[in-house]
A and B are shown apart, each in its own frame.
Chain A
Amino acid sequence: AADKINLIPQDFFAELCEQIIQHLNHKIPGVNTAELCQRIQTSGIEINVGDLAKIVNIISFLFSTAASNNLSTEELITTLGNAVTALPKHAVQVIRHVWNEQGKSISVSEDARSMATVGQFVDIKWKLGVAMSSDTCRSLKYPYVTVTLKVADPSGQITDKSFEMTVPQFKNFYRQFKEMAAVLETV
């Protein structure tokens, strides 16, 4: 996947690195990989989300390792040269620039590993529908809500998870969150 970096135009690559640094600085919950990929594809570049996600992981790992080792920009570029062969010149330039500007402000967390399996809730979208009939039943008539959760997974990539709930399932879901709120308040 590393050689796919060649495909990404400079401005998109800069945006990618910016988001990664901001995520490492806890300014944003994660990198909008899917959305970025779509925009890159629209501009005519053939790259899939999986490859882009791998690239995000590589650069993310690079930056966070550099942060924990307190690398200077030059040291980072040297490490980069050893880790990733034949990076296009514009990519190296972007990395150099981004690190110069914001590299020092990354604070490395020790709980990074313990958080490894938990994602962050970012946002929720919903829609309410009524299933009227189906091939097995002409009179279904049941309302259901479809929910899409935007989550930042542990590696910092933002993905969407969708699922459906019937009315009773939704009521239970809502009730659980109310209980959560009550407990959070009292703790």
Chain B
Amino acid sequence: MAAPEQLAPPEGCKPLSALLNGIAQAAYYGNADITEELLRGQLYPEAAPEEFRALRAKMGGLLQSIASADMDLNQLEAFLTAQTKKQGGITPDQAAVIAKFWKNHRIKIHESLINQSRWDNVLKNMNWRVDLKSQSRHIDQINTPVAIVEMELGKNGQESEFLCLEFDEAKVSQMLKKLSEIEESMTLLTQTT
């Protein structure tokens, strides 16, 4: 039985790169249609199912380790070099393909992992307009402008709740004051990490 790393056909990179893509589609981009059978048929038609399974598992495992540690280029190089020296590891060619793949997909995969860990309500969308109040509870409020803000809240993948709120100038100022506090804290945080 051919060892998994010898399944890469002479033209080298293409099937492996496509395989990594297929793995990422299923694991990180939520594309459930990319099955193992589909990948094998498209990319490694000559391979036996068990061999392909082993290859896919190995590549999937490597990608998972890299993604989980969100490796930078230095870490990636060290990691892949170690893998090429291992018994039953990867070839330098395969290492190059994986490295190229990670460089191109790192940000997107990381974002996907972030989204997978957001389980509370998020702000999905926000719209607003400014109205001029022509009728009012208080005489002094006639012809004052108010902002009507619509916020779409909800958990990822679940139905949204639409929150519709009214803000007069004072309330917007109050909001801005608090938002500026948040921004200050955020800046401090990103400076120290």
Complexed CA–CA distance, A121 and B173 (Å): 12
Q: Are A118 and B121 in contact (CB under 8 A)?
A: no
Taking CB as reference atom, which chain A residue is nearest B67?
A137
Complexed CA–CA distance, A41 and B149 (Å): 34
Taking CB as reference atom, which chain B residue is nearest A161?
B163
**Would A181 and B69 be within 8 Å (CB), given that A128-B186, A163-B123 are in contact?**
no
Q: Which residues of B contact A138 (CB under 8 A)?
A: 68-69
**Would A184 and B178 be within 8 Å (CB), given that A118-B165, A131-B114, A163-B153 are in contact?**
no
Q: Which B114-171 residues have a C-beta within 8 angstroms of A? A: 114, 116-118, 120-123, 126, 128, 130, 132, 135-138, 145-149, 151, 153, 161, 163-169, 171
**Would A151 and B69 be within 8 Å (CB), given that A164-B122, A174-B179, A180-B128 are in contact?**
no
Tell me if A166 counts as interface (CB < 8 A to partner B).
yes
**Would A173 and B123 be within 8 Å (CB), given that A26-B138, A143-B186 are in contact?**
yes
Tell me if B113 counts as interface (CB < 8 A to partner A).
yes
Chain A: minimal CB distance from B69 (Å): 5
Q: Which residues of A contact B116 (CB under 8 A)?
A: 134, 136-137
Q: Are A136 and B136 in contact (CB under 8 A)?
A: no
Complexed CA–CA distance, A26 and B138 (Å): 9
Chain B: minimal CB distance from A134 (Å): 4
Contact with A along B10-49 (1 / 0, CB 8 A): 0000000000000000000000000000000000000000
Chain A: minimal CB distance from B118 (Å): 6
Q: Which residues of A contact B179 (CB under 8 A)?
A: 170, 173-174, 177
By CB atoms of chain B within 10 A, which of A107, A126, A177 has the most? A177
Q: Are B176 and A181 in contact (CB under 8 A)?
A: yes
**Would A180 and B135 be within 8 Å (CB), given that A126-B178, A163-B123, A163-B153 are in contact?**
no
Tell me if A169 counts as interface (CB < 8 A to partner B).
yes
| Residues of A in contact with B, size category | 35 or more
Tell me if A120 counts as interface (CB < 8 A to partner B).
yes
Complexed CA–CA distance, A187 and B131 (Å): 9
B121 CB contact (under 8 Å) in A117, A163, A174, A180: A163
Q: Which residues of A contact B190 (CB under 8 A)?
A: 143, 167
Q: Are B176 and A178 in contact (CB under 8 A)?
A: yes
Chain B: minimal CB distance from A133 (Å): 8
Taking CB as reference atom, which chain A residue is nearest B115?
A166
**Would A173 and B126 be within 8 Å (CB), given that A119-B163, A142-B114 are in contact?**
yes
Taking CB as reference atom, which chain B residue is nearest A169?
B123
Tell me if B96 counts as interface (CB < 8 A to partner A).
no
Tell me if A141 counts as interface (CB < 8 A to partner B).
yes
Q: Which residues of B contact A161 (CB under 8 A)?
A: 121, 153, 161, 163
Q: Are A177 and B117 in contact (CB under 8 A)?
A: no
Tell me if A114 counts as interface (CB < 8 A to partner B).
yes
Chain B: minimal CB distance from A154 (Å): 9
Contact with B along A111-151 (1 / 0, CB 8 A): 10011011111011010101100101111111111110101
Tell me if B193 counts as interface (CB < 8 A to partner A).
yes
Q: Which residues of B contact A119 (CB under 8 A)?
A: 163-166
* 9 more A-B residue pairs beyond the given contacts A136-B117, A141-B193, with a C-beta to C-beta distance below 8 A: A111-B137, A121-B149, A126-B178, A128-B189, A136-B68, A136-B116, A137-B114, A163-B120, A165-B122
What are 21 A-B contacts defined by CB distance under 8 Å? A26-B137, A26-B138, A109-B136, A117-B164, A121-B166, A124-B174, A131-B117, A140-B70, A140-B114, A145-B182, A161-B161, A164-B123, A165-B123, A169-B123, A170-B183, A173-B126, A174-B176, A177-B175, A177-B179, A183-B145, A184-B147
